[in-house]
Structure 1
Amino acid sequence: MTHDHDLELRPTPAQTEAALNPPPGRTGGDLVVETLRGLGAATVFGLPGQHALGMFDALRRSDLTYIGLRVENNAAFAADAYGRVTGEAAPLLLSTGPGALMSLAALQEAAAASAPVLAIGSQVPAAGLGGGRHGYLHELRDQQASFRDVVKSVHTVRTQSQIPSAIAAAWESALTAPHGPVWVEIPQDVLTAETALPVVTAMDATPHELVPRPELTAVAADLLAKAERPAIIAGGGVVRSDAAGKLRALAERVNAPVVTTFGGKGAFPWEHPLSLQSWLEDRHTTDFLEDADVLLVVGSGLGELSSNYYTFKPRGRVVQIEADAGKLEANHPALGIHADARLALSALLETVGERPDPEAAGRVAAVLAKVQERLDSQELALERQIITAVRAALPHKAPSFWDMTILAYWAWSAWPGAMHSAQGAGGLGYGFPAAIGAAVADPTRPVLAVSGDGGAMYSIAELATARQYDLNVTWLIVDDGGYGILREYMTDAFGETTGTELSRPDFVALAESFGVPALRTSPDQLTEDLTKSLATPGPSVVVLPAVLKMFAPTHV
């Protein structure tokens, strides 16, 4: 008996002819780029290196767009942002040893933020693998070991026939919830040797769907429908699964106030009557959430930042929906539902009944009023002015990428809507190279990067990248003369600072030396200057000299 799938697997005469007569001059590197193209990739990021040249030579024969950055860590940040913006796995091509290791801090951020990055690195020739005794340049005794504790999965290749399957498996892993970075490594000689294998065509690497167990969503729906004081914490999983619409529908059906985590910003409308916004470091917000008798946590592990530095102690029943099984009930006992946020919210919407609560919006307004009263009681006019000025300058739906700087800490709480930051792993240097990745993903709209002067020095070389590809990125550098956050932490903890004060360049002159227009602004002029820079095609830099303070979480 012939099955339908048997017919689907049978090649056409034209396919058979092409397979039996592959074009000459191809190498293992061609198998890499053909596989990426077959998976649907259009753009790759990276840096060439000695052992990886087979892949880069093959790029010349492909229609993939290559974006080369100046530092591997920055290339990985760019790929991370490309994945966050598009929802696709961004290929990242790296060389052996130092080149590969330079990407680790950025891949840690991708892992913490569940951003899909497909990192493909070279290796020493196959005969030299396993021991580090052969003296090859860039050789590591066990390169995979350096990545295994950082990325979601590791995939190794030893022969050319393994290349398509390994890359397809990695692609599937990167895009299966929870998303994350993956690592593929291929020896130099496998990449450079000629191949007689057929051209790789379409590859099937469909991500697995993480479906909730129906008996668990039934219990969750019952708890929400019967709750007296329900509340919802919406994390980054809601954003990554494109579930904001379903979250809103559920919140409105059960009249549950919603707070978004710093990684989940944009998951719920900022001005909605049920929106508690993102003031997670405010004690009034923490108290409100602790008082909920049913707390639904969607797409968040309730880690350090989302739990107000582990001071959050819920008293009611917690229901946690999380795609990462390791984060289920990691910090609080809960009804744990291991599932993709979109699928779990869909299941709840099919089950949960209406829960009228005419007082819910009033309780939200009361909390937000207390937050504003707290801010008004502190001397924070400059900080509030600047965050308002930046928001006023940024066009609607234009993405923003924030480094670890005091203004970003403000944005986590005060920025009204979606934003991207390095708050997953917390490494410096994320903002500008990430903005480059987003600008590559969508060249039709401007992108804003925000850094402090300390973080800016991590990625200053990428001004050359932005100029080379003429990318629409405006970089706001808040220059306070050092590591502002660490200065504040050390002053609070020890009364004085060590290692926080920095000599830095004239950022305006430095940007102009790269051929990038730049200007120095002031708080009063910031909206006008930033608006003009964002409206001008190509890269630009705006420098704001300002020393900012963090807010205190309660009255001082």
Structure 2
Amino acid sequence: MTMRTGGDLVVESLTALGARTVFGLPGQHALGAFDALRRSSVEYVGLRVENNAGFAADGFARVTGSVAPLLVSTGPGALMTLAALQEAAAASAPVLAIGSQVPVAGLGGGRHGYLHELADQKASFRDIVKSVHPVRTASQIPSAIADAWQSALTAPHGPVWVEIPQDALLAVPDVPPVTELVAAPRPLRPRPELIAEAARRLSAAERPVILAGGGVVRSGAHAELLALAEKVAAPVATTFGGKGAFDWEHPLSVQSWLEDRHTTDFLEDADVLLVVGSGLGELSSNYHTLRPRGRVIQIEADLGKLESNHPALGIHADARLALAELLAAVDSRPDDGTAAKSAARLLARVRTRIAAQHLDTEQDILASVRAALPPDAPSFWDMTILAYWAWSAWPGPMHSAQGAGGLGYGFPAALGAAAADRTRPVLAVSGDGGAMYSIADLATARQYDLPVTWLIVDDGGYGILREYMTEAFGAATATELTRPDFVALAESFGVPAHRTSPESLQDDLAKALATPGPSVLVLPAVLRMFAPTHLPEAAPDTSADVRPDAT
């Protein structure tokens, strides 16, 4: 079949919108779209599991800031992407997932009993993605993809789902080739009266503090955040998703020790707490123990997260646009060095606490990883104890699955990032349990010669769950695992692999990262998490109270 089909309309539309790479895995009903790929200049990166293809698209989207197309088939293939799309939604990654469907005559289920048929496939995605775009005829394809693209990139960014029946993908369209599509994201500007009120409160504050989340990073508001912090002399903490939003070593930086009770106390003590690009969810609020005593100003692009956890002056806006207007409106506060001194005292208390817990091995391993990784090389972290350390202690940008918290994210997401830029190495970090989710895609790394070094910390099981269960119940259940020989397994895929130690990790990792193509490094080590300094005193439930001074 050489004639142009609805599948070509899919690829032409993506190309017109700027896509150069597509991730996915073929299936019966999607073959029309996959066949069209060979007639295009779009690069296809195929993974071995649909969920991993979704994670790869997520990684691509995070490092590029652009839409990452994901192409999968019907039924099981579509449903296998749900965990990855949940992570993309939680982390606001613009993944454009295109799934096929049974022929139009079978929509609704039960009429023909097609292979892979679901009664309402798109219903499985509605509560996860930003928007769903069903197609019924080939001529609808370009507009549906353009609408989905615009939705994915409009703040807050997020995944979207396009669904196209098999017969629409195979139909010969009576329309010319797609040459131009416009899908510019709609700007989300703040309301001026809210900016004026926020500026008034910040200008009058004596102890302002800023908490910067992932929305600052995604909107590219680094310069505006820095200028505002310096103008009002406010210390800045970053959430785990907001790492890299503010210079780690800046005198006003209090870094990212959000699970440390000293940091929680510091945020609570602010008379004005400006939260930018964060919903103050479980991790950003130290497991909902944060109870601000001053006024809160929250700038958030996701309307559903605005004031969802704390009463605030809520500003529904893109972080960069809101910070720019707030910067212009706020008064300068004299900087007598008090803010920087308070930040330094906080960090000293954190360091003292960590030192008292005798966790030198964990800190040395993380320091070795930091030293080995080139400054511009991205890193992707699975849900493993070393990643939990990195959330707090890693000094710059990092990408992890802390949005939805599913296992298996790190390696396939790193593959997606490597596909975006093959000139620099990419690091993936997993535990042995999480690594087993992604083993099949060692074949992908080898097939496309992607420059990903995969560090597997082998502690014999689900380490963080082992620690949680032992602390809560006195013993762990279902956490111990039989593992393969990861080195031999990687080598069977043609991927160079090596077993390392804490002492040789830095040199071994630096060598692996400097070697072209994929590689695996296995570190046998049982790590421990740090403990908070103290837990807050029990407080009454005030969720139903709206205090006049809270806003």
TM-score by length of 1: 0.95
SS of alignment partner, residue 388 of structure 2 = helix
Answering whether residue 74 of structure 2 is matched by residue 117 of structure 1, we say no
Number of aligned positions between the proteins? 534
Answering whether residue 84 of structure 2 is matched by residue 106 of structure 1, we say yes
SS of alignment partner, residue 461 of structure 1 = helix
SS of alignment partner, residue 52 of structure 2 = helix
Answering whether residue 421 of structure 2 is matched by residue 442 of structure 1, we say yes
CA distance in 1, matches of 2:354, 2:286: 17
1:540 is aligned, of 499, 513, 519, to 519
CA distance in 1, matches of 2:487, 2:42: 34
Cα drift, residue 70 of structure 1: 0.4
Moved more, 168-177 or 190-199: 190-199
- Alignment correspondent of 2:63: 85
CA distance in 1, matches of 2:110, 2:495: 44
Cα drift, residue 68 of structure 1: 0.3
SS of alignment partner, residue 428 of structure 2 = strand
Cα drift, residue 62 of structure 1: 0.7
Cα drift, residue 132 of structure 1: 3.2
CA distance in 1, matches of 2:528, 2:464: 9
Contact 1:297–1:320 (Cα < 8 Å) also in 2:
yes
- Alignment correspondent of 1:225: 203
Answering whether residue 486 of structure 2 is matched by residue 507 of structure 1, we say yes
CA distance in 2, matches of 1:406, 1:119: 31
Contact 1:374–1:555 (Cα < 8 Å) also in 2:
no
Cα drift, residue 225 of structure 1: 1.3
Instruction: After superposition, give the CA deviation of every residue in 1:457-514 in whole Å (9 maximum; x if it has no partner).
Output: 0001111000000011000000000000100010011111111000000000000000
- Alignment correspondent of 1:166: 144
- Alignment correspondent of 1:265: 243
- Alignment correspondent of 1:11: none
CA distance in 2, matches of 1:345, 1:462: 41
CA distance in 2, matches of 1:470, 1:160: 35
- Alignment correspondent of 2:432: 453
Letter in 2 for 1:340: D
CA distance in 2, matches of 1:437, 1:339: 29
1:360 is aligned, of 308, 325, 339, to 339
- Alignment correspondent of 1:15: none
Letter in 1 for 2:512: S
Contact 2:109–2:117 (Cα < 8 Å) also in 1:
no
CA distance in 2, matches of 1:301, 1:132: 42
2:465 is aligned, of 476, 486, 490, to 486
SS of alignment partner, residue 143 of structure 1 = coil
Matches within 5 A, 1:207-356: 207-356=185-334
- Alignment correspondent of 2:174: 196
1:421 is aligned, of 397, 400, 406, to 400
Contact 1:378–1:555 (Cα < 8 Å) also in 2:
no
Answering whether residue 530 of structure 2 is matched by residue 530 of structure 1, we say no
Contact 1:290–1:314 (Cα < 8 Å) also in 2:
yes
CA distance in 2, matches of 1:325, 1:296: 17
Answering whether residue 23 of structure 2 is matched by residue 45 of structure 1, we say yes
Q: Which runs of 5+ in 2 are unaligned?
A: 536-551
Cα drift, residue 555 of structure 1: 6.2
Instruction: After superposition, give the CA deviation of every residue in 1:159-178 in whole Å (9 maximum; x if it has no partner).
Output: 11111110100000000000
CA distance in 1, matches of 2:248, 2:188: 29
Contact 1:110–1:180 (Cα < 8 Å) also in 2:
yes
- Alignment correspondent of 2:351: 372
Answering whether residue 138 of structure 2 is matched by residue 157 of structure 1, we say no
CA distance in 2, matches of 1:448, 1:33: 31
CA distance in 2, matches of 1:246, 1:258: 13
Cα drift, residue 25 of structure 1: 1.0
1:394 is aligned, of 373, 379, 383, to 373
Answering whether residue 454 of structure 2 is matched by residue 475 of structure 1, we say yes
Contact 2:30–2:169 (Cα < 8 Å) also in 1:
yes
Letter in 1 for 2:76: P
- Alignment correspondent of 1:21: none
Letter in 1 for 2:392: S
Instruction: After superposition, give the CA deviation of every residue in 1:346-396 in whole Å (9 maximum; x if it has no partner).
Output: 101111121113211100000000000100110201101111110000001
Q: Runs of at least 4 residues of structure 1 off by over 4 A? A: none
SS of alignment partner, residue 360 of structure 1 = helix
Cα drift, residue 35 of structure 1: 0.5
CA distance in 1, matches of 2:524, 2:250: 35
Cα drift, residue 196 of structure 1: 2.6
Contact 1:377–1:555 (Cα < 8 Å) also in 2:
no
Contact 1:238–1:267 (Cα < 8 Å) also in 2:
yes
Instruction: After superposition, give the CA deviation of every residue in 1:259-309 in whole Å (9 maximum; x if it has no partner).
Output: 000000000000000000000000100001000000000000000000000
Contact 2:261–2:534 (Cα < 8 Å) also in 1:
no
Letter in 1 for 2:290: F
CA distance in 2, matches of 1:189, 1:150: 26
Q: Percent identity?
A: 78
Letter in 2 for 1:442: D
CA distance in 2, matches of 1:553, 1:447: 32
Cα drift, residue 99 of structure 1: 0.3
Contact 2:136–2:168 (Cα < 8 Å) also in 1:
yes
Letter in 1 for 2:516: P
SS of alignment partner, residue 424 of structure 2 = coil
Letter in 1 for 2:317: A
CA distance in 1, matches of 2:23, 2:137: 24
CA distance in 2, matches of 1:96, 1:233: 42
Letter in 1 for 2:301: A
Letter in 1 for 2:410: G
Letter in 1 for 2:438: S
In 2 relative to 1, CA 555–375 (structure 1 residues): closer, same or farther, beyond 3 Å?
farther
Instruction: After superposition, give the CA deviation of every residue in 1:302-330 in whole Å (9 maximum; x if it has no partner).
Output: 00000000000000000000000000000
- Alignment correspondent of 1:382: 361
CA distance in 2, matches of 1:513, 1:453: 18
Letter in 2 for 1:481: G
CA distance in 1, matches of 2:335, 2:4: 67
Answering whether residue 124 of structure 2 is matched by residue 130 of structure 1, we say no
Contact 1:82–1:438 (Cα < 8 Å) also in 2:
yes
Contact 2:100–2:166 (Cα < 8 Å) also in 1:
yes
Matches within 5 A, 1:24-43: 25-43=3-21
Matches within 5 A, 1:169-188: 169-188=147-166
- Alignment correspondent of 1:148: 126
TM-score by length of 2: 0.96
